[in-house]
Structure 1
Amino acid sequence: MYYLLLLTIFLLILYLIRAIRKPKNFPPGPFWFPIIGNVFQLRKLTAALGGQYLAFSKLSEDYESNVIGLKLGVNKVVVVLSYGAVKKVLTSEEYDGRPDNFFIRLRSMGTRNGITGTDGELWKIQRHFVTLHLRQLGLGKKPMESHIQDEVSEMLTVLEKNKNKELEIETIMQISVLNVLWVFIAGSRFQRNHVRLVELLKLLDERGKAFDIAGGALNHMPWLRFLAPEKTCYNLALKVNDKFKAMLMEPIREHFETWTEGRDDDLIHFFITEMRKVRDEETTFTETQLLMVCLDIFLAGSQTSSSTLTFAFLMMLLNPDVKKKVHDCLDKEFGKSEPITLSERNRVPYVEAVLFEVERMFTTTPIIGPRRVLKNTVLEGYNIPKDTTVLMSLYSLHNDEKYWTDPGIFRPERFLDEEGKLIFHERLLPFGLGRRRCPGEILAKSCIFSFFSEVMRSYNIESPPGTQVPSGKHHSGITLIPQKYRVVFDKRHF
């Protein structure tokens, strides 16, 4: 019994030593505690500063390094904060993996399917399939602009019915962006008063605030879901999953019922056609994969583009001089009923500069990733072991004082030269780089540009009478979400 006790103590000490020991030449960072690593340190710092991205910036200052090494639960995590290192990760094959962890699987309803959270052959096959067929359906071409203009008309109708009334603009933008996406995916659009859709968007807001890009404590200590399912937001995640599945499976089942040979009017029909052709048991074209592809696209369109638009209109409230320049620019270049599309953006470089500045100052995904290192590698002189999770701070790139000089000031002119022509800064990376660059980039840009320009041409946006101008603050979670604010759309006469 005595020797057994000694052996137990020895093994425990050995475990503790291994748990806190860092790999040789691992990036600098705080001390690792056994079992939990830096989970609670990071949570405390995040709460104190108001965002995980701010916590990472503080650690970068404290350790005087643009590459920080952490351990979250049992997972080694490296955070990258400089342009050179971020570009290296985004464009190098050894960083193309995705972690296979609890949160990734929870997001994907217990599976490892879809595009966003996968890697390897499944990711290559499915990403190629989706991008190819979205192009065939008109993505980046005239059909896309036509779909966007249809939704612009619907959106302007909503604003016209509610002119001079107080409105929350975020939901209007979310549904508009989703409808453009959904026409490509399912060949239809959502009704704006769809009860399930409105409820789901509210749940997404809650989910976005509850988790961070690394999945929070629940990801690193998944056993907490048994002890505190509400506090860890595990129950919330399950609720969101159930709502998503119910909403997305409805059009998928309808497509199975109406599918005929050669039907190719939307992505779901394309996918079902591929399922009918392939009978291999190893195929990636399954009903579960179809559901997850729809989920990935839904999540991609539900918040990032609509949040960018919501931030853009907020900047118009807070910067009347910029708002006037936008109005003057649009009035000069476009007739009252002339469609404003992305293909015509070169006529209004100031408007595009305004949107670039919004994307820089309010990076809706301040931390991108996570990536999984596929083999032992070296980054900025530090050893990065295989299977390490890598997170990248776009916030740090977009707020680098050495490059932008005054990053805390909203100044669209930083994207214009002396002749008023657009300047493209390579350090502005809202859609990423490399093989995992956002496949819906052109659609997102088109929606943001057209929706913003069409609304600004038709309406003057003001705070409701007797109310204070919004503070410009935001919620930080998986994405940056603007705080709710109300506006009045006053019809412009020109």
Structure 2
Amino acid sequence: MLQFLLVALLVLLYTYWRIATKRPKLYPPGPKWLPIIGNTLLLRSETRRYGRQIDVFRAWKEKYNSSVIGLKLGSELVVVALDYPIIHKIHTSSEFDGRPDNFFLRLRTMGSRLGITCTDGELWSEQRNFVSRHLRRSGYGRNAMEELIQHELNELIEVIGTFAEKPVWPCNFLSISVLNVLWTFTAGKKISSNENLAHLLELMKQRSKAFDMSGGWLNTMPFLRFIAPERTSYNLIRRFNIELCNFFKPIIEEHKNEFGVNRVDEDLIFAFINEMKQNEGVSSNFTDTQLIMVILDLFIAGAQSTSNTMDFIMMSLVMNDEIQKKCHKEIDAVLSANELPSLKDKPKLAYIEALILETQRFYNIVAVSGPRRVLRETKLGGYRLPKNTTVLMGLETIHMDTAHWGDPHVFRPERFLDADNKITNTERFVAFGQGKRKCLGEALARASLFIFTVGILQKFKLEIPPNGQMPEKRAQAGLLTTPTPYEIVFKCR
């Protein structure tokens, strides 16, 4: 009897193992997975070995000779796309417009499935359209936006001047300037306390380093938050969420107290409150919680990506003196010493624009993009993807594709200039995404990067401190690519 039970148990275990490790029919190639945890353990160990998740995916692309890699992380089927035509299809096809409904994304939005970034369907469409309409009404992409950035540039120049040519890490002040531009559109004014803002930005940096786009162990096995809340960074995200809520709520209450119909277009919060009042007494997505989640999405999206790019631009200039000299020469030929840079100057400052594009291409702030959710069974690269499969996109593989760029590992702004010194070769530049889910803040980010870069170079020369070290080219991995801390000197020109 005991032997029979033992044999039955072994048969059951074998059957379970076969079912749990079986790949779906016509699923993309990739490493074999284990029951329960799937490829999570393998992906984590390989990421430690290669240094970054995108490097693991690139290695698997070569190993399995496929631009589409099929994984399983916990109970979630995950596919990674690593080629431009395939990623372009994901960006532009409606069946890939969904977002996964998993523990990590719900934790990111404080346990809800609200906001814009982590939602899909009617809620996503309604809220995205609302934010887009408001931004257009309030001058987004027009003179009002440019004047706001120019005003922040003046204050940024003053801040740099106070350093008196002492070594500084640009990240410590650039992020505040970038975020203040976004926050003025959101709340109608700058963030009053730089100390409070600096604390929130530090929490955001920790959050970015602690996770990758797959969500890590916490997404695979959420119960680990009870066993190791610190090690899994569960407590970090909770602290971040709580502090952001505490930061947003007084500002929202202040807007409610000051609300008037003549103030609807002043900022996003007033516009949202107006929608809430118009929908009183009926079922609506315009609620206090949704407002907090929308602000959270804008804060997270704008706080790091643009400031990290500015940081990489400063780093690239100090590492490439000839490039910096070309920038200075171009600016001096177009602008007088006290003339504020403007978006109308872009055609005449094409080398600066090329420098910004090359920085985004070379350093890839978002090396792995997503996650997307397959809304219905579909095919990708000839493989079958079941409904609800999670899809990640290796944007860095597009920007580092030797077949297209020729010398992708060389930092060369000229690749984006044609013989007439006009911007070209941008068809495979995907830093802001493509399609319906393209970055909402693209116009603001592009304008900020251009005006801040020109304004800084107009006034300063960037140098390595005496006896200082050249910045490390290798960046820090995480949800977003972050420069390794470095110091430079801003010398008055």
TM-score by length of 2: 0.97
Residue 230 of structure 1: aligned partner = 230
Q: Map 1:368-387 onto structure 2 (within 5 A).
A: 368-387=369-388
Tell me whether 259-268 or 40-49 shows the greater mean CA deviation. 259-268
Residue 185 of structure 1: aligned partner = 186
SS at match of 1:361: helix
SS at match of 2:462: strand
Deviation of 1:7 after TM superposition, in Å, equals 6.3
Specify the code of the residue in structure 2 equivalent to 1:223: F
SS at match of 2:36: coil
Q: Map 1:9-88 onto structure 2 (within 5 A).
A: 10-88=11-89
Residue 307 of structure 1: aligned partner = 308
Q: Please state if 1:248 is matched with 2:233.
A: no
SS at match of 2:168: strand
How far apart, in 2, do the equivalents of 1:4 and 1:434 lie?
Answer: 57
Alpha-carbon displacement from aligned partner over 1:124-152 (angstroms, at most 9, x marks no partner): 00000000001101100100001001100
Q: Name structure 2 gaps, 5 residues minimum.
A: none
Q: Is the 8 A contact 1:38 1:70 kept in 2?
A: yes
Deviation of 1:221 after TM superposition, in Å, equals 1.2
Alpha-carbon displacement from aligned partner over 1:235-291 (angstroms, at most 9, x marks no partner): 111111111111111211111121123422111000001001103553110000000
Tell me whether 138-147 or 229-238 shows the greater mean CA deviation. 229-238
Q: Map 1:3-402 onto structure 2 (within 5 A).
A: 10-191=11-192, 194-264=194-264, 265-279=266-280, 281-402=282-403
Alpha-carbon displacement from aligned partner over 1:9-38 (angstroms, at most 9, x marks no partner): 555443322210011110000001111110
Alpha-carbon displacement from aligned partner over 1:206-242 (angstroms, at most 9, x marks no partner): 1110000111111111111112111111111111111
How far apart, in 2, do the equivalents of 1:283 and 1:424 lie?
Answer: 44
Specify the code of the residue in structure 1 equivalent to 2:174: M
Alpha-carbon displacement from aligned partner over 1:283-340 (angstroms, at most 9, x marks no partner): 1100000000000000111110000110011001110000000000000011112221
Residue 413 of structure 2: aligned partner = 412
Residue 424 of structure 2: aligned partner = 423
Tell me whether 352-361 or 336-345 shows the greater mean CA deviation. 336-345
Q: Is the 8 A contact 1:327 1:456 kept in 2?
A: yes
Alpha-carbon displacement from aligned partner over 1:344-373 (angstroms, at most 9, x marks no partner): 211111111111100100110011110000
Q: Is the 8 A contact 1:342 1:445 kept in 2?
A: no
Specify the code of the residue in structure 1 equivalent to 2:171: E
How far apart, in 2, do the equivalents of 1:127 and 1:7 lie?
Answer: 55
What count of residue pairs does the alignment treat as equivalent? 491
Deviation of 1:167 after TM superposition, in Å, equals 1.4
How far apart, in 2, do the equivalents of 1:485 and 1:195 lie?
Answer: 21
SS at match of 1:375: coil
Deviation of 1:343 after TM superposition, in Å, equals 3.0
How far apart, in 2, do the equivalents of 1:280 and 1:383 lie?
Answer: 46
Alpha-carbon displacement from aligned partner over 1:83-132 (angstroms, at most 9, x marks no partner): 00000000000000000000101100111110000000000000000000
Specify the code of the residue in structure 1 equivalent to 2:310: L
Alpha-carbon displacement from aligned partner over 1:50-85 (angstroms, at most 9, x marks no partner): 111111111111111100000001100000000000
SS at match of 1:490: strand
Q: Is the 8 A contact 2:168 2:487 kept in 1?
A: yes
How far apart, in 2, do the equivalents of 1:227 and 1:382 lie?
Answer: 38
How far apart, in 1, do the equivalents of 2:442 and 2:384 lie?
Answer: 33
SS at match of 1:304: helix
Q: Is the 8 A contact 2:176 2:194 kept in 1?
A: no
Specify the code of the residue in structure 2 equivalent to 1:68: I
Deviation of 1:420 after TM superposition, in Å, equals 2.1
Specify the code of the residue in structure 1 equivalent to 2:24: P
Q: Is the 8 A contact 2:377 2:385 kept in 1?
A: yes
Residue 466 of structure 1: aligned partner = 467
SS at match of 2:129: helix
How far apart, in 2, do the equivalents of 1:147 and 1:257 lie?
Answer: 25
Deviation of 1:402 after TM superposition, in Å, equals 1.0
How far apart, in 2, do the equivalents of 1:237 and 1:115 lie?
Answer: 19
SS at match of 2:345: helix
Deviation of 1:470 after TM superposition, in Å, equals 1.2
Specify the code of the residue in structure 1 equivalent to 2:422: K
Q: Is the 8 A contact 2:415 2:425 kept in 1?
A: no
Q: Is the 8 A contact 2:353 2:450 kept in 1?
A: yes
SS at match of 2:465: coil
Deviation of 1:342 after TM superposition, in Å, equals 2.4
SS at match of 2:393: strand
How far apart, in 1, do the equivalents of 2:282 and 2:9 lie?
Answer: 47
Specify the code of the residue in structure 2 equivalent to 1:487: I
Residue 478 of structure 1: aligned partner = 479
How far apart, in 2, do the equivalents of 1:308 and 1:262 lie?
Answer: 37
Cα pair distance change 1:26/1:247, threshold 3 Å: same
Q: Is the 8 A contact 1:333 1:347 kept in 2?
A: yes
How far apart, in 1, do the equivalents of 2:387 and 2:281 lie?
Answer: 32
How far apart, in 2, do the equivalents of 1:343 and 1:307 lie?
Answer: 25
